[in-house]
Amino acid sequence: MSDETQTPTLTAKSPSASKTVQTQLVFPEHANALGNAFGGQVMSWADMVGGICAMRHTGGLAVTASVDDLQFEHPLAIGDIAVVEARVNAAFRTSLEVEVSVWGESMHTHERWLCVNARMTFVAIDAQRKPRAVAPLVPESDDDVRRMREASARRQERLAKRKK
């Protein structure tokens, strides 16, 4: 087999190796007439941070393939701080599931609340925009093992839906 046809060996990575956190301040341009952050703005922040997390794990480009279980729990108001956190739950052949949580934080009291939680699937792509192999995920804790198991079950559900 020539070097050109061999698949490179990918080094397994832990969830902490690609964990990504971004902080935003909610400004009036991010808000609706009620003074709360637009849902689309919050989803955009989640997609960006989730994508960066996916690219850190894959070591290259990754694109959003699906968003599951996106739940708005509590609004963010103008002047609130948004803390967007992403972590890899599981890695598959060419895709990975990333969990993204958006937390609101009061700059005055430092109180925190869950604004949005979502699971997103990203596909790693090469320079020709074709799917490419993803490094395995190595769990660091029992919680990581649970997350991997649950993500695998959700993946099977997504694949079954696609076949219908």
Contacts with 22 (C-beta within 8 Å, 6 or more apart), sequence order: 45, 48, 49, 52, 83, 84
- How many angstroms from the chain centroid is the CA of residue 139? 17
**Which pLDDT value is given to residue 8?**
61
Q: Which of 55-59, 124-128, 135-139, 160-164 has the lowest mean pLDDT?
A: 160-164
Q: Which domains are present in the chain?
A: 15-163 (3.10.129.10)
pTM over 0.85: yes
How would DSSP label each residue in 20-63?
Answer: EEEEEE--GGGB-TTSBB-HHHHHHHHHHHHHHHHHHHHTS-EE
What's the mean pLDDT in 114-120?
97
**Which pLDDT value is given to residue 161?**
86
CA gap 150, 161 in Å, rounded? 17
**Which pLDDT value is given to residue 6?**
45
Residue 103's H or E segment, with its range, is strand 95-105
Paired strand residues for 67: 120
